[in-house]
Amino acid sequence: MTNEKNHILEIRNLSKVFDVNTEKEKDVLKDVSLTVDRNEFLCMLGPSGCGKTTLLRCIAGFESYEGSVLVNGAERTKPGTDRIMVFQDFNQLFPWKTVEKNIQYPLKLQGIRDKDELKQRTQEVLAKVKLSGHEKYYPYQLSGGMKQRVAIAKALALKPEIILMDEPFAALDAMTRNELQDELLRISMEEQCTFLFITHNIQETIVLGTRIIVLAEGGRIVVDEKNTVARPVTPASEGYGETWERLHSALYQ
């Protein structure tokens, strides 16, 4: 059983309306409540437009909303390095900066000026994503998969409590996607970090998630379950087929 101390993130009655008082007014999230435990890897599935990205952006502090978002019991309304977002887009790195400068830029904004510390943190996180030796590369010299590795390294360098990932592997080919799933799984088991991970890929949720939720319109949570399929997960794993079927029918109901 969990207790309150284990809760890293608490979303209380969160509602989001876009374009208030205009003809485009839209209720995107309606009274969403969700509690996430420390070190949980929470995967989120849901049909296009149900508000997954909006929910993550609210948690990240990029949107205004009604209700509250608490990290370690304290309300958060603005972006902070305790919650870092990783996107689908390969272009989330500055194209004019090298890999190391991309990683170090937010660290410098954090006030870290010591060259040795910056170098050490960069090397540490690049090793974690298996990109040691690529410090001086520019983004255009990297594959899509490598760019996503750098984006993950950049997030890890900030030592966030929560990493918010919005379909980070959606634009990758199937083989690279599998590789990055394996890497992220390893990283998530090594790091003291909580992950919220959006995907449209059911397989991905079963491979990565310790918990899986399915959202419907308005951000309504229609499935919320612990992932009981033993790691490492393959389609032949016990319980895989049943879990896949259950999530699939919730998603397409």
Ligand X SMILES: Nc1ncnc2c1ncn2[C@@H]1O[C@H](COP(=O)(O)OP(=O)(O)OP(=O)(O)O)[C@@H](O)[C@H]1O
Instruction: State the chain's maximal CA–CA distance in angstroms.
Output: 55
Determine the Cα–Cα distance for residues 232 and 229; give it in Å rounded to an integer: 9
Q: What string marks each residue from 7 to 26 as x (binds ligand X by CB under 6 A) or -?
A: -----------xx------x
Phi and psi (nearest 5°) for 195?
Answer: -120, 135
Minimum distance of ligand X from residue 28's CB (angstroms)? 4
Determine the Cα–Cα distance for residues 198 and 211; give it in Å rounded to an integer: 12
Minimum distance of Mg ion from residue 251's CB (angstroms)? 14
Minimum distance of ligand X from residue 88's CB (angstroms)? 9
Q: Which is nearer to Mg ion, 134 or 177 (CB)?
A: 177
**Binding piece for Mg ion, criterion CB under 5 A, among 12-20, 24-32, 47-55, 102-110:** 47-55
Q: Which does 26 bind (CB under 5 to 8 A by kind): Mg ion, ligand X, none?
A: ligand X
Considering only 43, 53, 165, 205, the residue that binds ligand X (CB under 6 A) is 53
Q: Is 199 in the site for Mg ion (CB under 5 A)?
A: no
Determine the Cα–Cα distance for residues 167 and 201; give it in Å rounded to an integer: 9
Residue 62 makes CB contacts below 8 A (sequence gap 6+) with 79, 85
The tokens describing 170, both together, are 């959606």
Helix axes 115-128, 99-109, angle to 10 degrees: 120
**Binding piece for ligand X, criterion CB under 6 A, among 32-40, 43-51, 105-113, 116-124:** 43-51
Binding residues for ligand X, per CB under 6 A?
Answer: 18-19, 26, 28, 46, 48-54
